[in-house]
Each structure stands twice: as structure tokens, then as C-alpha cells.
Structure 1
Amino acid sequence: MIPIELLEDYLIDQDDGIKKLLTWFLNLVMQLEAIQQADAEPYQRIDSRKAHRNGYKERSLKTRVGELRLKKPQFREISFETKVFDRYSRVEKALINAVVESYLQGVSTRRIQDIVSRLGVENLSASSVSRISQELDEKVEEFLKRPIDHPIPYLYVDASYFKVRDNSRYVSKAFMIVMGVRDDGYREILGARIADGEDELFWSGLFQDLADRGLSGVKLVISDGHKGIQKAVEKSFLGASWQMCHVHLMRAVLRNVAKKYQEEIAEKIKIALEDETKMQQLIQELEDRGYSKSADTAERFRFSLWNYRAFPREHWRRIRTTNGLERINKELKRRSRVVGAFPSDKSFMRLGVSILIDINEEWMTTRKYLSMDME
């Protein structure tokens, strides 16, 4: 039974109350795990006991509601094992692996050396790094090769860029991500790949991989206006429509507008996105004001701005932008900031895909992204 004081905290301050409830629950889970592994209740004197308690070790866990401080049970005779930190440990391992791999390759900066020291892993051997790498590589491969069992009516594609070492130099590489909304309304990260760029060839290869794993039922593909994506979508998803992300359209148009007028034009773009007539009027206005490049951009994407309206109105807000992927890209940037530049493609994939696995697991255990009942 939940302690009454935790329920009172929840009613008074829901944010802090949720953290306390989650902390209580996860500590309780570990207590039950400890009872199972020791084969005895705390202080219970029985011959079948396998291990004796040896206090607790405080450990932090980052969650959607903030960082939790948990009490992990300790045993004298054996190591205590828990599922609570599995997701946390996977990303943590990938992060440490990337940092230490740079360190061992002799390409680390003073900042990396300082991080290694603070992590307490200066003496981590090359064989240990290799073992961790192999374990993470297996998890990455398993995730990226799993079958796609559900039809995917809505497909979102986007890429962000990261510094990766290529032979003796560091270059910017594209991390391409494909997310879908399944026919049951749940979101799922379907695939990811690191590539030298976003040319049609790279995207087509990723889409073919998804098809080989069972991707079907695609009706709408949402992305930015990159020509490589557009061409790959046209050839890979016959019969599907392509939707230009409204947020990316606004950014592209404003790129060639004087800064002092950007706020004004941004408001006009929002209004113009309501229908084609208003967009035509805005294109003419941009041309008349000398922003011919912006006018050309709006004209180029004009026939791909309203394809989302062929689908249920309740879906419109979430299928006219790639905002869901934008949030993932921000999280990838935030979590990888400590590394800075990755020593190899594989090193980046270990961390990047580990983060995607965590996000995907969270999506599959929370409520549906869209209600598909009205289709």
C-alpha cells in the first residue's frame, strides 16, 4: 500500500509528488529483488538464506520527472542484481565507452582526460573496452535488425549532424533516423544509420533496409525539404504522399529574410499555411519586397504543404511537422555533448542507438501517440 504521506505530497505538489512516488516504487522493486536473490526476508533466520544484507549504496537515476536518488541493496556474499538501472546502464556504458576509446587511441583532449579521471576509469584496459564494445554492438544490431510487425501509416524522417573521426581527421556525419506511427497508434523508432551525407543513395539504402524488415502500409512521409530525402521517398514509397514539415518550411523561408522583418514574416507564414490562396498571396508579397529566394522556396514546396489534410483532422497537429524527431535530435545532442567528437562510426552508433532504444522503450510503455479509431 502506498504510504499516505506520499499521496498527500502528490495532491499538494504533483511534480515533486510524482518523483517521491517513483522513488518509493523503485526502491520497493529493489527490495523485492533482494528478497528473491537472498531467498529470505530481511532479518529472517533460515538455513536456506543465500546471502546477507550489507546496507545500501546510493545511486542516481535520470528519468522524465528528474533525477532520482535511489537506495540499491548490497549483499556480503554475492553481487546484487537489479533491472531498475538496465536502461540507465546501457547509455552510461556507451558514453563511457566512447570517452575511453578516444583516450586509449591517444586522440583525447585535456577535457576528455579530465572526464576519464572523474569517471574513475583511467585503468580500464583495452580488453575491457573491447568487451563493452562487443556487448553494445550486439544490442545495437539486435535493435536495428528487428522485424517490423505492424503496418506504419505515418513515417517521419530526419537527420542531425555529429563530429566523427574518419581516418586521421574529424568530419561532420549525418545520423539519419526513421520514426513511424503504427496502425495501433503507438510510436516506434524503426531505423537509424550514420552516413557521410543525406544524398538520395543513403536514404534509399535505409528505406530498403526497412522494407526488407517488413515495413508496409506507408501513406504519408513527413520530413524537411532535403532533395535527397524527397527523391528517395518518391522512389521508395509509391502511392504515399510526402509532407513538407511546416516548421522546416518556415525556417527555410526566413533564412533569406532580413532579421528585423523575420518576426513579421513568420506570423504571415503561419496564416498562409492555412490554405493555398493565402500562400500564393504571401509568395507574391515576398517577391514584391525583394525576397525572391524566400518566394522561390515557398513556391517550391507549395504543393506538399497540405497533404496531411487527407487524413483524420485529429491527427493533423502531429503529422504536419517532424517535431517528435526534433526532440530526439536535441536529446542526442545533449547526451553526446560530453564526448564532443567520436573516435569512430561504431562508437557513435553505440551511444546514439542506446539512447534511441531507451526512447523507444518509453514510447511503447506509455499511452498511444495517436488514436487510430477514427480512420
Structure 2
Amino acid sequence: MTQAKSQLISIEELIKLFVEDRKEGKKELITWFLNNVMDEEAIEQLKADKYERNNERKGYRNGYKKRKLNTVDGELILDKPDIRSGSFTTSVFDKYSTVEKALESVIVESYINGVSTRSINNVINKLGVKVSPGYVSSLNKELDIKVKEFLETRIDDKIIYLYIDASYFKIRENGKYKSMALYISIGVNSKGIRQILSMDIYNSEDEIDWNNFFYKLQERGLSGVKLVISDGHKGIMKSVKESFPGSLWQYCHFHFLKNLRKTMGKDQWKSISRIVSEALIDESLFKVAIDRMEEMHLDKAIDMFYGWYDSLYSYISFPEQHYRKIHTNNVTERLNRELKRRTRKIAAFPNNDSLMRLVVSIAIDINEEWSLRKYINMEVD
């Protein structure tokens, strides 16, 4: 609606339009109101009304300039006063900038929460705002920049404890959907603060891929690692020994118990599980657990317990106050559950980039939360 039109139409006509066509009528009412707000601002800044002559006048009008404003009611075309030989400032667009920010938040949050790019416009249309494909694309580019920054940021603090794991997601590749491994690393630095250090996508969990993942971390400055905690995947185990010489590796107790259970029947597990769990947190009970397994003729379980003995008790080389946090990989398990929760509505991702945008956005938010408090108290005797 032009300024000329706004001067000709009466408030009664605007109200009538609002009653007849609520959506368009509301836009006309808001446009009329905001144009009048800017006119009043112009009067205040010029110290004179239109065509008014007085000694305090600070300038002259030069018509109007069209200015678009996105609002929850749709796109408005406003008439912003133009000042000859000067500039006009208005609070209208600043006040409504929150609308544009809210709009952007909806798009980004929709993307992060698993709404496909195709569906984003449907979400935005519910706000009564039209968004160009280029705008959505620009936001995706911003997310890609965040992903790049996350994957390349220097790791300046020494990382004492390193938790690693992989979670699987379906991704489209060459026209087919396949299960891909999302590698995850979480570190606890010398101050006791935990942080998601990196995420990356690989075809599987073989030793070569884990070597590559660790190499990238070390290229970014990863150092000081004394203990690596993970499940018992052979690819991880071999790569840890090669990539972190001198460091210890801890076989996550949760995963060990899960695998140990597979060597026996349900009733046998009920009988033995408690003593085995107690033996893992009190090494003096190891022989007690072995004796009990021998009585039950659980040869596979005995071989497994002896075979992993050293890696099951690596954690006792560190302060006792840290035991509870470093004998399992629960910190990555919780992160994986959160990632799965946030991606539950997504059957499969269209490509690697779409998964990385999502998981890195989640990781950045989690890191901000984690940075506020210590995970482990490193100031112990």
C-alpha cells in the first residue's frame, strides 16, 4: 500500500477490510499503522510537520522509499520517509528485526530437528511468510561454515581422557541408502571440562578409518591423552595402540558386560552378573568371579575375562575419585541417545552434509552447556 493510498483510505475502511478478509485486512492495518509511526518519527527528527515552516526545522522531506518487512503476518511493503540532504532513522525495522531473527530460527531449528529442506517452506508458510529457496540455501551455507569451523578448531588444552564411539545412520549414497558410521570423540581436558572434539562419517569401523579420524584430531593439536575409553571393537583397539603410544586403553565395562552375557544362557547370567559387575569395580574380587564361573563351567566367559583383563582395569591407574567417570563410555552413550532422539523422524539422510549439519549443530549447543561446569575434578591428591 503506497503512502498516497494510506492517506486516502480511512480507518473505517481498513476495519471493514479486516472484517471481510482478516488476513489481508490485518496486513493493511499494520502497514497503515507502521507508516504513520514513521511519519511521526520524521516529524520529530525534522522538528516540523509536512510543509510546516518554522525556525527549528532541520531538513526537508524527499518523498518515500519502498521498504520490505517480513512479519508473522506476511511481507509488508512500507513507505519509509526520505530526507533530502540527510538521513532518516526509524525504530520500526529495528523493532521488527526480531521477527526476521525468529524466522531464521524457525528455519534453522526445523533443519536441525530433522525437517527436510523440502518441508521447511511448509513450516515457514504457517507463519504467513514467503521464503525464497535462496534464503534457505544461504542458511544451509551458514550451517556448513559452522561444521567446518567445528572440525578445524585447534585443540589447545591437553586432553587427559578421550572417549570414542561410533553411531550408525542411514545416508543416501549413489542412489541407495546405506548404514554409515558417525565417529564421535569426547575429551576431558586438564581442567576437568568435557567437550565434543570431533565427529566424522565413515563407511565402517576398521582400523584404517579410525587411524584417519585420530590423525585429524592430532593435526588439530590433540595431545596429552593418558586414557582412551571405548567399546571392544577390534578396529578401535588396534588404532588406539598405534595412534596413542604410551596411553592406556579402557574397555568400557558396560560394553564388556553386554558381550560377556552373550557367552551364556539367561539363567546363568542372572546367577553370575552381580559378582562379575562387582569384580569390575573391585579387582580383589576378580578371582572370586572366576571361581564362580568355573563352578558353572562357563569356559567362554572365563577365557573372555582373562583375555581382556589388562584393559578392564586400566582405569585404576588414575585417581580413585575419577573411577566412576572413566571405567565406562557412558558419556558417549548419552550423546548417542540424544542424537537418535533428535533424528528419530528422519528415516534416512539425503547426503553426508545433511547429517553433519544436524549433529554438529547439536554438538555446539551441548559444548556450550558442558563448558559451564566441570565433569571431573582434576584437583585431587
TM-score, normalisation: structure 2: 0.69
The verdict on how the C-alpha distance between 1:116 and 1:197 changes in structure 2, with shifts beyond 3 A counting, is farther
Rounded to whole Å, the distance in 2 between the matches of 1:229 and 1:254 is 21
Asked if 2 retains the 8 angstrom alpha-carbon contact of 1:163 and 1:342, the reply is yes
Match of 1:148 among 155, 175, 179: 155
- The aligned amino acid for 2:241 is E
- The aligned amino acid for 1:233 is V
What residue is the counterpart of 2:374 in the other structure? Answer: 368
The verdict on how the C-alpha distance between 1:99 and 1:85 changes in structure 2, with shifts beyond 3 A counting, is closer
* CA deviation vs aligned residue, 1:120-158 (integer Å, no higher than 9, x gap): 489865534432221111001101110001011111111
What residue is the counterpart of 1:67 in the other structure? Answer: none
Match of 2:343 among 324, 336, 358: 336
The count of aligned residue pairs is 296
Match of 1:94 among 105, 108, 111: 111
Rounded to whole Å, the distance in 2 between the matches of 1:256 and 1:344 is 38
Contiguous gaps of at least 5 residues in structure 2: 1-42, 46-70, 73-90
The verdict on how the C-alpha distance between 1:129 and 1:215 changes in structure 2, with shifts beyond 3 A counting, is same
What residue is the counterpart of 1:294 in the other structure? Answer: 301
Match of 2:209 among 181, 192, 202: 202
Q: How far 1:174 sits from its partner (Å)?
A: 1.0
Contiguous gaps of at least 5 residues in structure 1: 1-45, 49-55, 58-74, 104-112
Rounded to whole Å, the distance in 1 between the matches of 2:44 and 2:374 is 49
Rounded to whole Å, the distance in 1 between the matches of 2:107 and 2:293 is 50
Rounded to whole Å, the distance in 1 between the matches of 2:102 and 2:240 is 39
Asked if 1 retains the 8 angstrom alpha-carbon contact of 2:107 and 2:124, the reply is no
Rounded to whole Å, the distance in 1 between the matches of 2:353 and 2:257 is 35
- In the TM superposition, what are the counterparts of 1:161-180 in structure 2 within 5 Å? 161-180=168-187
- SS of corresponding position for 2:93: coil
- The aligned amino acid for 2:243 is S
- SS of corresponding position for 2:116: helix
- The aligned amino acid for 1:332 is L
Asked if 2 retains the 8 angstrom alpha-carbon contact of 1:158 and 1:325, the reply is yes
What residue is the counterpart of 2:24 in the other structure? Answer: none
Rounded to whole Å, the distance in 2 between the matches of 1:372 and 1:277 is 26
- SS of corresponding position for 1:342: coil
TM-score, normalisation: structure 1: 0.70
- SS of corresponding position for 1:260: helix
What residue is the counterpart of 1:311 in the other structure? Answer: 318
What residue is the counterpart of 2:222 in the other structure? Answer: 215
Range 115-124 or range 208-217, more displaced: 115-124
Q: Percent identity?
A: 42
Residue 157 (1) aligns with residue 164 (2): yes
- SS of corresponding position for 2:97: coil
Q: How far 1:293 sits from its partner (Å)?
A: 3.6
* CA deviation vs aligned residue, 1:354-375 (integer Å, no higher than 9, x gap): 11111011111x2211111125
What residue is the counterpart of 1:193 in the other structure? Answer: 200
Asked if 2 retains the 8 angstrom alpha-carbon contact of 1:185 and 1:372, the reply is yes
Rounded to whole Å, the distance in 1 between the matches of 2:315 and 2:181 is 27
Residue 80 (1) aligns with residue 97 (2): yes
* CA deviation vs aligned residue, 1:89-115 (integer Å, no higher than 9, x gap): 69615336x5334x4xxxxxxxxx7x9
Residue 273 (1) aligns with residue 280 (2): yes
The verdict on how the C-alpha distance between 1:277 and 1:260 changes in structure 2, with shifts beyond 3 A counting, is same
- The aligned amino acid for 2:111 is A
Q: How far 1:287 sits from its partner (Å)?
A: 5.6
- In the TM superposition, what are the counterparts of 1:31-42 in structure 2 within 5 Å? none
- SS of corresponding position for 1:77: helix
- The aligned amino acid for 1:209 is K
Between Structure 1 and Structure 2, whose CA radius of gyration is higher? 2
- SS of corresponding position for 1:153: strand
Rounded to whole Å, the distance in 2 between the matches of 1:154 and 1:374 is 15
- SS of corresponding position for 2:315: helix
Q: How far 1:168 sits from its partner (Å)?
A: 1.4
Asked if 2 retains the 8 angstrom alpha-carbon contact of 1:90 and 1:354, the reply is no
Rounded to whole Å, the distance in 1 between the matches of 2:110 and 2:191 is 33
Rounded to whole Å, the distance in 1 between the matches of 2:288 and 2:107 is 52
- SS of corresponding position for 1:193: strand
The verdict on how the C-alpha distance between 1:186 and 1:130 changes in structure 2, with shifts beyond 3 A counting, is same
